[in-house]
Amino acid sequence: MEGFYSPDPVFRMAARQFELLADHLEIPQQFRQRLIQPKRAVTVSLPLERDDGRVEVFHGYRVQHHLSIGPTKGGTRFSPVLTIGESAALAVWMSWKCALVGLPYGGAKGGVSVDPNLLSPGELEKLARRYMQEMIPFVGPRTDIMGPDMGTNAQVMAWFMDTYSMHAGHAVPEIVTGKPVSIGGVSGRRESTGRGAVFLIERALDHLKIKPSGCTAVVQGFGNVGSVVACGLAYKSGMKVTGISDHTVCLYDPAGFDVAAADRHVTQHRTLKDFPQGERIPADDFLTLPCDILVPAAIERVIHASNASRLRCRILAEAANGPTTPEADEILDKRWDEVFVIPDILCNAGGVIVSYFEWVQDLQNFFWTDIEMTDRLFRILDAAFSATIKRSKERRVSTRTAAMAIGVERVLTAKRDRGLFP
Ligand code: GLU
């Protein structure tokens, strides 16, 4: 399916996944382009005066996939490899994710092509504010609501909110989610993606009739999501976390890591490099370590044609967006009775669900208790998990196909019901 974004390999992957699903659902050709091609996209150049006086120009993006049922929603990523095509793919996945869990949003994604670790705190603030300033004509609480993603955090969301609000002349907390609680954020947003993943892993174990205590887990990535998953599996589910990693190092310890110590190390030193426990292993061997639960919680396309047949886990819990390529899916489909997949659009949906709660509360200026939020989060995830399993069994398809089918069908129905504006 050719289009503006097709030169990008990550977008080609999202488009390929969709094409396979559209064939499965027998979606008429006339709807396919309308469903997959993003509605709007913008690229901006962001001049930044560095601390040494040089002016450097960075590139920023935002892609809004569809606006058929409400505003778009999705994270803002600060990553050196971010492109408009990758943003578009991530926006598409956000759409299927929001639809699967019943949120009234289309998907969006964007950010800045930059390594935030190479900026001083002052430079990071200037770049974040400049990005939001450039996005003002394009976003809004009823158009497109940003949230955190890789390389951004509550502080960056606060700068976004402040920049937008200064322009509006009054506080607009509903423009972004994942903010500090003091300005309309909700407690637990940072942990929500990881907590949701842990809930679903326990749900999947229950479905497979396996007891969590005594299980082993390998977690790729130790950021906002991976660290919370590792701690949750170790301290809540009673598992042994035998593998942890980030972009600097992959570590293995069959005796199980002290993940709280790893978490403290990363808080102090930013990365796992020099963390004293465990054996360093090559990145290529990390995902094929023997374990019960494998959690990719970092970047896209890490499980592919050359390692999918060698995965040695019982459950693949995709906390990252797009970690598994369609070629790997073909292999995993054949291994369905060995590897149970919790697909990304389900496994990491906890984050955007809590973002939705934050947006609703900001719009209404009426705040819920933490218990209400946790209870609602787990109920939504539980229903989406059950619906996915039911469809997977009834139609004899993979859990990914089942989850995506539910999401895509909801978007298709909305587009059909609205009709085509002349
Ligand atoms: N980055 C989150 C995700 O990939 C969503 C961010 C948001 O809450 O909008 O699901």
Q: In terms of domains, do 143 and 235 share one?
A: no
Q: What is the pLDDT at residue 177? A: 98
* Ligand 1 atom showing the smallest separation from residue 108 Cα: 9
pLDDT category, 3, cuts 50, 70, 90?
confident
Look at residue 75 and tell me whether its pLDDT is greater than 80: yes
Three-class SS of residue 73?
A: strand
Q: What is the mean pLDDT of residues 108-120?
A: 97
Judged against a pLDDT cut of 90, whether residue 1 lies above it is answered with no
Percentage of the chain exceeding pLDDT 70 = 100
Cα separation, 369 vs 382, whole angstroms: 20
**Do residues 292 and 216 touch, judged by C-beta distance below 8 A?**
yes
3-class SS at 229? helix
User: Same structural domain for residues 116 and 57?
Assistant: yes
Is the pTM higher than 0.85? yes
Q: Cα(90) to centroid of ligand 1, in Å?
A: 10
Neighbouring residues of 236: CB distance < 8 A, sequence distance ≥ 6:
198
Beta strand 250-252 pairing with 240-245: antiparallel
Q: Which of 347, 369, 394 is the last residue of a domain?
A: 347
Q: Which of 387, 383, 379, 380 is nearest to 409 (CA)?
A: 387
**Amino acid type, 246:** D
Are both 214 and 328 inside the same structural domain?
yes
- Indicate the number of domains in the chain: 2
Tell me the average pLDDT across 179-192. 96
| Nearby residues of 222 by Cβ (< 8 Å), 6 or more positions away | 230, 244, 245, 246, 262, 263, 266, 271, 272, 297
Q: Which two tokens stand for residue 401?
A: 């196909």
Phi then psi dihedrals of residue 150, to 5 deg: -55, 130
> Which structural domain, as residue segments, surrounds residue 87?
9-183
Pair (169, 58) in one structural domain:
yes
Is 296 within 8 Å of 311 (Cβ atoms)?
Answer: no
Q: Is residue 194 scored above 90 in pLDDT?
A: yes
Q: What is the mean pLDDT of residues 380-407?
A: 98
Buried/exposed 375-395: b ≥16 CB within 10 Å, e otherwise: eebbebbeebbebbbebbeee
Q: pLDDT class for 340, splitting at 50, 70, 90?
A: very high
Last residue of a domain, one of 308, 328, 347: 347
Q: Which residue from 86, 149, 193, 347 has its CB within 8 A of the most atoms of ligand 1, so it is best to mutate?
A: 149
| Residue list, ligand 1 pocket, CB within 6 Å | 73-75, 147-149, 177-178, 321, 348, 351-352, 355
What are 387-396's pLDDT values in tens digits?
999 999 999 9
Same domain, 239 and 275: yes
Average pLDDT over residues 186-205: 97
Residue 2 has pLDDT above 80, yes or no: no
Residues 95-107: what's their mean pLDDT? 98
- Amino acid, res. 241: V
CATH of the domain at 120: 3.40.50.10860
Mean pLDDT of the chain: 97
| 163 and 92 both lie in a single domain | yes
Residues 95 and 200 in one domain: no
Q: Which of 73, 109, 179, 240 is catalytic?
A: 109
Residue 240, both tokens:
């042994």
d(CA 325, CA 328): 5
- Whether 146 and 175 have beta carbons less than 8 Å apart is answered as yes
CA of 101 to the centre of ligand 1 (A): 13
Query: Hey, what long-range contacts does 124-130 have (CB within 8 A, 24 or more apart)?
Result: 124/156, 125/159, 126/48, 126/49, 127/46, 127/48, 127/58, 128/152, 128/156, 128/159, 128/160, 128/163, 129/159, 129/160, 129/162, 129/163, 130/46, 130/47, 130/48
Collapsed DSSP state (helix, strand, coil) of residue 31: helix
109 is catalytic: yes
- Spacing, Cα 278 to ligand 1 middle (Å): 32
Same-domain status, 219 and 329: yes
Domain boundary among 347, 375, 393: 347
Are 163 and 209 within one domain? no
Residue 318 has pLDDT above 70, yes or no: yes
**Tokens 């919790």 sit at which residue?**
342
Distance CA 179, CA 173 (A): 8
**For the domain that residue 342 is a member of, what is the CATH number?**
3.40.50.720
Residue for token digits 């939705």?
356
| Residue 96 alpha carbon to ligand 1 centre in Å | 12
* Confidence tier at 135 by pLDDT (50, 70, 90): very high
- In this model, does residue 140 exceed pLDDT 90? yes
Specify the pLDDT at position 132.
98
CA–CA distance, 107 with 234 (Å, rounded to integer): 32
Residue 311: name the closest of 280, 344, 285, 330 by CA: 285
List beta partners, residue 78. 112
| Atom number, ligand 1, closest to the C-alpha of residue 354 | 8
Provide φ and ψ at 26, rounded to 5°: 55, 50
DSSP state of 118: G
Closest CA to 288 of 299, 298, 303, 273: 303
Query: Is 33 among the domain residues?
Result: yes
Please name the helix (run of DSSP H) or strand (run of DSSP E) that holds residue 147, with its range, or none: strand 144-148
- Average pLDDT, integer, range 241-253: 98
The β-bridge relationship of strands 40-49 and 55-64 is: antiparallel
Task: Indicate whether 149 and 196 sit together in one domain.
Answer: no
Structure tokens at 373: 């939020």
